[in-house]
């Protein structure tokens, strides 16, 4: 991707046709692989989806011009390229639902905003319930979602059998009592999201600096002055940190201890199959969620591996655990072969909800603690974090996502599991 020039022109059907006729010689690199300058107004640490979306909105929405984004590896090499690509806004608690509803609306216009095909497919997200109590809880959740302005439909097993005839509806242990469907939910192409934001941010003057690992912060009299990196010292008026599973490690360099644990979350892809799944499905008893990719593979995941780690790899007992949950829901997939798996590092907060806030160090800002919600949050997170960096005030939909809520006792415990990060 190395180039000193800007990405040229807009994508269009006409241009694709023209390039196809002329040997595709007119394409240019998607973004500039910039060299770091000595100083910037704002530096974003972390080149994943959240950092890229923040850099884009700083330049596009808030007019920032001297912005750098630092990525320790390559764009798309972290969690943004290691997930199951699910997009939804079906939360119960207002602080979360307001945010994710904003994010879903941004997803729906992302391709037009970025002039990039992120393969957004609103095929629907179906959450299954397996007991009378769970059914009642889902109906309550659906009502809360509709009150927020988003969409939710409770479907009965009889209605479900038309599109999902292959579920084990009569399972003696886990009978399917119905499901909560969000028709506007779906999936997107994770790599395309990273590339689209990188291209759009670079076109608006953001310096995207790859292979630039942060090694420390220069903090004087309680204020951050610069970021120390493997490519030298970079001064900045403000620094925003969006490094997902490495949040605790990076913030420790600034002398801050975070209410966050890092855990491995594995994801899997099966061999290619004929089209069977019309949308995304989650199993309400075992933690299992699955969709089908455009190439036919089942893309699925489940629980955390259950131990603290910064390594992007999992273990075999969790592979068996996730596969067992999938077969309990859809016995027919027992013969499907697993093609590949990978691990992402989840930054799990004490209450399972994210943090977007200023830190006790002046000029240092945090975007983290996304738990399982990182991919679906990308566009909303970028907008509200850019708002915070540009204005020093929380965005209206993120007022509850403050760092000090753990001290004040104002938890956003969406899962109702208490202060146990590995259960969130």
Give residue-wise pLDDT tens across range 213-272: 999 999 999 999 999 999 999 999 999 999 999 999 999 999 999 999 999 999 999 999
Q: What is the DSSP letter of 184?
A: T
Give residue-wise pLDDT tens across range 294-329: 999 999 999 999 889 998 888 899 999 999 999 999
| Statement: residue 10 has pLDDT above 90 | no
Does the domain formed by 119-187+261-349 have CATH 3.10.129.10?
no
| Statement: residue 417 has pLDDT above 90 | no
Question: Regarding beta strands 186-187 and 86-87, do their DSSP bridges make them parallel or antiparallel, or are they unpaired?
Answer: antiparallel
Give the DSSP H or E segment for 263: strand 260-272
Q: Mean pLDDT across the chain, nearest whole number?
A: 94
Domain residue ranges of the chain, discontinuous segments joined by + = 35-85+190-258+351-423, 119-187+261-349
Does the domain formed by 35-85+190-258+351-423 have CATH 3.40.309.10?
no
State phi, psi for 56 to the nearest 5 degrees.
-60, -50
Task: Give the pLDDT score at 3.
Answer: 39
What are the angstrom distances between the C-alpha of 281 and each of 170, 180, 194, 296, 320? 17, 10, 25, 15, 19
Of the chain, the percentage scoring pLDDT greater than 90 comes to 86
Give residue-wise pLDDT tens across range 394-410: 999 999 999 999 999 99
Query: Per DSSP, what are the bridge partners of residue 368?
Result: 355
């Amino acid at each position: 991707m190395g180039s000193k020039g800007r990405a040229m022109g807009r994508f269009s059907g006409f241009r694709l046709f023209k390039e196809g006729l002329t040997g595709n010689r007119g394409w240019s690199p998607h973004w500039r692989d910039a060299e770091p300058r000595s100083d910037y107004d704002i530096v974003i640490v972390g080149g994943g989806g959240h950092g890229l979306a923040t850099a884009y909105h700083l330049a596009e929405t808030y007019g920032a011009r001297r912005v750098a984004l630092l990525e320790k590896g390559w764009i798309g090499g972290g969690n943004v390229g290691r997930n199951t690509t699910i997009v939804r806004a079906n939360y119960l608690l207002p602080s979360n639902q307001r945010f994710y509803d904003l994010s879903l609306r941004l997803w729906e216009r992302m391709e037009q905003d970025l002039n990039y095909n992120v393969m957004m497919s609103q095929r629907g997200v179906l959450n299954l319930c397996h007991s009378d109590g769970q059914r009642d809880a889902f109906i309550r959740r659906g009502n809360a979602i509709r009150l927020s302005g988003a969409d939710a439909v409770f479907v009965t097993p009889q209605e479900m059998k038309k599109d999902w005839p292959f579920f084990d509806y009569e399972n003696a242990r886990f009978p399917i009592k119905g499901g909560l469907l969000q028709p506007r939910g779906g999936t997107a192409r994770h790599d395309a999201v990273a590339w689209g934001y990188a291209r759009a941010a670079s076109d608006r003057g953001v310096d995207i600096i790859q292979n630039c690992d942060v090694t420390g912060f220069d903090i004087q009299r309680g204020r951050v002055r610069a970021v120390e990196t493997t490519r030298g010292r970079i001064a900045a008026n403000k620094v925003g940190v969006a490094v997902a599973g490495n949040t605790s490690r990076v913030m420790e360099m600034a002398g801050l201890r975070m209410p966050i644990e890092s855990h491995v979350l594995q994801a899997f892809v099966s061999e290619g199959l004929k089209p069977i799944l019309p949308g995304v499905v989650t199993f309400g008893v075992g933690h299992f969620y699955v969709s089908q990719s455009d190439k036919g593979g089942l893309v699925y995941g489940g629980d955390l591996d259950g131990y603290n780690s910064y390594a992007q790899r999992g273990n075999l007992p969790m592979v068996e655990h996730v596969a067992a949950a999938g077969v309990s829901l859809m016995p027919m997939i027992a013969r499907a072969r697993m093609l590949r798996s990978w691990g992402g590092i989840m930054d799990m907060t004490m209450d399972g909800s994210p943090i977007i806030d200023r830190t006790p160090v002046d000029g240092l800002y945090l975007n983290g603690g996304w738990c399982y919600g990182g991919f679906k949050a990308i566009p909303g997170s970028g907008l509200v974090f850019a708002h915070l960096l540009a204005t020093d005030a929380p965005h209206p939909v993120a007022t509850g996502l403050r760092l000090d809520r753990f001290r004040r006792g104002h938890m956003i415990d969406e899962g109702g599991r208490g202060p146990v990060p590995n259960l969130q």
